[in-house]
């Protein structure tokens, strides 16, 4: 009888393993990975007449009326963008306002356009194109680059001239002589960067020297940026331009050499077109990778709540899982703000005049209308994505299969994968699966966050990630040993859905799981209790 004890202990241990695996609790991942309908269904069309959006628009009308009345805002304009269209406006939508430092983002765009045209490199020293530039650097002999100007990372002083009246007179030669007598106030690439109007002015006057045929900053912005974007009500020169009324005596002051930092004017209708370009990349003034580089963090502040891109301002809003890309402007009573959330493809533009008695800020005004938009779009997206992927998938019993990614035999015994869609966190998969790896029982009990790998194939990377950094370290784990990192390679941390057949597959272990009402037609699903009963029956038959 002794030789029969091994099977008994194996069966009992497997029964215990099957019963205990689902009892372990797992915290959901914290890394947000939202997904839009267009990523998995290119023909999807949003219905802005739906109850969800109509409710949003009614809420916004009330919110804006209350906010502007409470804070004494008489001249204002609001535009909300989703994808490639402006879906909501309010206020003086066709009226021109000075947009102040939003100008900086357009100046940075000029540098990226010229880089993509191979007329300069972002790592070129400023002196390569502006040889008369110099400044005292008490920290080292580092050459300041175009990239550092774009991200406020050069350590330059904030202003060239007096902060209250930043009209810097004189020709470029005189101004550069003045700069040569100044000194850096922070080391380049300091952990605490220094916001600099001087730096962005230098940026514009640096890259204009690289244009071919040669154009001034003003000419290039007008001909190569504003015209292609259809921003016909946006400009630089204020002569003859009717602006939203302001009682500030400096309201029409020209910034002269510092124009690239804060000179421009626009309407919210035109800023809506600008946001559409930022969100969709169309028209293709720069490559998709350049857009991502433009808005990616150059510096994140020590508190982790804000940072600079090129030279966008990254902000963590309340209840938001990701940083919002934004830029504020403030010049002589004109206060402006644009912001957008790339994962959800939404944006907001707000233009205001702050007369005496006006309180709050353009940032707070924008946030008040932007956050409800993001939440509405997230809920609409989650509802659609759920129709593709959400549900409880029961994994069928499999024969041993050879895993090309693990280099040994695997067998799925039973289990479930419960897929849900969180409006802000994206797709989550709660997996409880019993597996045999070369006859060794292994329990999978995890909540995975899913990241789209290929929309056509409905394949996703997955990771048990407590944060985005940990998740990033899991993408592409376990490539097929026979075809490492080649086209069609299977990866250990990859799931594949087939929405039409209601199936989910974990190719690395041969796992196949189905929603209720769907089946492979070749295998039989085995639950925890039925597997236990099956093993007991087999054990009794063995003893007999």
DSSP letters spanning 272-335: HHHHHHHHH--S-SS-HHHHHHHHS-SEE-TTSSEEESSSPEEE--TT-SSPEEEEEEEETTEE
Once rounded to an integer, what is the mean pLDDT over residues 266-275? 98
Q: What pLDDT, on a 0 to 100 scale, did the predictor assign at position 372?
A: 96
The 10s digit of each residue's pLDDT in 99-111 is 999 999 999 999 9
Q: How confident is the model at residue 18 (pLDDT cuts 50, 70, 90)?
A: very low
DSSP bridge partners of 429: 419, 448
Q: What pLDDT, on a 0 to 100 scale, did the predictor assign at position 320?
A: 75
Q: What pLDDT, on a 0 to 100 scale, did the predictor assign at position 357?
A: 87
**pLDDT exceeds cutoff 60 at 294:** yes
How many angstroms separate the CA atoms of 444 and 461, rounded? 16
SS3 277: helix
Give the HSE-up count for residue 169: Cα atoms under 13 Å, Cβ half-sphere.
2
Q: What pLDDT, on a 0 to 100 scale, did the predictor assign at position 458?
A: 95
User: Which residue from 468, 459, 465, 463 is spatially nearest to 478, judged by alpha carbons?
Assistant: 463
The 10s digit of each residue's pLDDT in 344-396 is 999 999 999 999 888 888 999 999 999 999 999 999 999 999 999 999 999 99
Once rounded to an integer, what is the mean pLDDT over residues 388-411? 92
The conformation of residue 235, written as its DSSP 8-state character, comes to B
b vs e for 450-464, b when ≥16 Cβ sit within 10 Å of the residue's Cβ?
bbbbeeeebbbbbbb
**pLDDT exceeds cutoff 80 at 12:** no
Once rounded to an integer, what is the mean pLDDT over residues 260-281? 97
Q: What pLDDT, on a 0 to 100 scale, did the predictor assign at position 533?
A: 34
Query: Which is more confidently placed, 306 or 340?
Result: 340
How many angstroms separate the CA atoms of 353 and 367, rounded? 17
The 10s digit of each residue's pLDDT in 508-528 is 999 999 999 987 644 333 444
Query: Which is more confidently placed, 453 or 466?
Result: 453
How many angstroms separate the CA atoms of 510 and 492, rounded? 11
Q: What pLDDT, on a 0 to 100 scale, did the predictor assign at position 424?
A: 86
Once rounded to an integer, what is the mean pLDDT over residues 447-470? 89
Q: How confident is the model at residue 531 (pLDDT cuts 50, 70, 90)?
A: very low
Q: Is 269 exposed, middle or buried (0-12, 13-18, 19+ CB in 10 A)?
A: buried
Tokens representing residue 508 in the block? 């690395």
How many angstroms separate the CA atoms of 107 and 205, rounded? 10
Residue 213, Cβ neighbours under 10 Å: how many? 5
Asked which of 34-38, 85-89, 306-310, 466-470 is least confident by mean pLDDT, the reply is 466-470
Q: What pLDDT, on a 0 to 100 scale, did the predictor assign at position 10?
A: 39
Whole-model pTM?
A: 0.88
Q: Which residues touch 533 (CB under 8 Å, ≥6 apart)?
A: none
Tokens representing residue 485 in the block? 């990192």
Residue 163, Cβ neighbours under 10 Å: how many? 8
The 10s digit of each residue's pLDDT in 465-505 is 678 888 888 899 999 998 988 988 999 999 999 999 999 99
Mean pLDDT, the chain, as a whole number? 88
**pLDDT exceeds cutoff 50 at 427:** yes
Q: What pLDDT, on a 0 to 100 scale, did the predictor assign at position 167?
A: 64
Once rounded to an integer, what is the mean pLDDT over residues 292-297? 95
CA angle, 494 then 496 then 497, to 5°? 145
The 10s digit of each residue's pLDDT in 171-192 is 999 999 999 999 999 999 988 8
Q: How confident is the model at residue 28 (pLDDT cuts 50, 70, 90)?
A: low
Q: What pLDDT, on a 0 to 100 scale, did the predictor assign at position 319?
A: 73
Q: What pLDDT, on a 0 to 100 scale, did the predictor assign at position 519?
A: 77
**pLDDT exceeds cutoff 80 at 304:** no
Asked which of 211-225, 235-249, 480-494 is least confident by mean pLDDT, the reply is 480-494
Q: What pLDDT, on a 0 to 100 scale, did the predictor assign at position 1?
A: 39
* CA dihedral angle for residue 195, residue 199, residue 203, residue 209, rounded to 10 degrees: 180
What percent of the chain has pLDDT above 90? 73
How many angstroms separate the CA atoms of 445 and 253, rounded? 65
Is the CB of residue 172 less than 8 Å from the CB of residue 220? no
**pLDDT exceeds cutoff 80 at 535:** no
Once rounded to an integer, what is the mean pLDDT over residues 337-346? 95
Once rounded to an integer, what is the mean pLDDT over residues 248-256? 93
**pLDDT exceeds cutoff 90 at 164:** no
**Cα 18 to chain center, whole Å?**
41
Asked which of 79-83, 161-165, 279-283, 428-432 is least confident by mean pLDDT, the reply is 161-165
């Amino acid at each position: 009888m002794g030789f029969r004890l091994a099977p008994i202990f194996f069966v009992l241990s497997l029964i215990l393993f099957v019963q205990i695996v689902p009892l372990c609790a797992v915290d959901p991942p914290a890394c947000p990975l939202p997904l839009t309908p267009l990523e998995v269904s290119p023909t999807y069309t949003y219905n802005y007449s739906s109850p969800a959006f109509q409710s949003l628009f009614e809420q916004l009308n009330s919110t804006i009326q209350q906010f502007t009345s409470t804070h004494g805002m008489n001249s204002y304009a609001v535009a909300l963008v989703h994808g490639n269209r402006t879906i909501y406006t309010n206020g003086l939508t066709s009226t021109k306002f000075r947009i102040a430092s939003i100008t900086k983002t357009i100046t940075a765009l000029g540098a990226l356009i010229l880089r993509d045209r191979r007329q300069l490199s972002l790592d070129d020293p400023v002196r390569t194109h502006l040889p008369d530039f110099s400044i005292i650097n008490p920290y080292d002999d580092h050459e300041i680059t175009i990239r550092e100007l774009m991200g406020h990372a050069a350590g330059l002083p904030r202003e060239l001239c007096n902060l209250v009246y930043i009209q810097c007179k004189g020709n470029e030669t005189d101004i550069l002589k003045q700069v040569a007598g100044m000194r850096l106030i922070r080391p380049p690439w300091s952990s605490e960067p220094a916001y600099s109007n001087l730096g962005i002015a230098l940026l514009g006057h640096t890259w204009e020297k690289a244009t071919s045929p040669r154009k001034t900053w003003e000419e290039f912005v007008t001909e190569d940026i504003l015209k292609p974007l259809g921003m016909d009500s946006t400009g630089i020169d204020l002569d003859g331009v009717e602006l939203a009324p302001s009682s500030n005596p400096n309201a029409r002051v020209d910034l002269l050499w510092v124009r690239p930092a804060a000179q421009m004017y626009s309407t919210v209708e035109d800023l809506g077109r600008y946001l559409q370009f930022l969100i969709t990349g169309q028209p293709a003034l720069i490559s998709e990778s350049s857009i991502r580089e433009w808005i990616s963090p150059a510096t994140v502040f020590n508190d982790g709540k804000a940072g600079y891109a090129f030279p966008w301002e990254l902000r963590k809003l309340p209840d938001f899982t990701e940083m919002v890309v934004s830029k504020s402007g403030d010049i002589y009573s004109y206060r402006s703000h644009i912001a957008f959330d790339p994962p959800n493809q939404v944006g907001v533009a707000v233009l205001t005049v702050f007369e005496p008695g006006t309180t709050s800020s353009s940032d707070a005004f924008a946030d008040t209308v932007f956050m409800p938009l993001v939440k509405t779009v997230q809920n609409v997206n989650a509802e659609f994505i759920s129709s593709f992927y959400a549900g409880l998938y029961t994994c069928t019993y499999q024969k041993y299969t050879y895993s090309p990614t693990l280099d040994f035999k695997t067998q799925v015994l039973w289990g479930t994968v419960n897929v849900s869609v969180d409006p802000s966190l994206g797709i989550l998969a709660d997996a409880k699966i019993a597996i045999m790896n070369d006859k060794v029982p292994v329990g999978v009990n995890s909540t995975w966050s899913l990241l789209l790998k290929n929309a056509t194939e409905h394949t996703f990377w997955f990771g048990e990630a407590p944060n985005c950094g940990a998740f990033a370290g899991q993408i592409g784990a376990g490539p097929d040993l026979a075809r490492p990192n080649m086209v069609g390679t299977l990866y250990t941390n990859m799931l594949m859905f087939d929405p039409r057949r209601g199936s989910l597959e974990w190719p690395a272990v041969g796992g196949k799981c189905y929603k209720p009402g769907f089946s492979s037609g070749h295998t039989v699903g085995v639950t925890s209790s039925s597997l236990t009963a099956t093993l007991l029956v087999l054990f009794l038959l063995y003893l007999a």
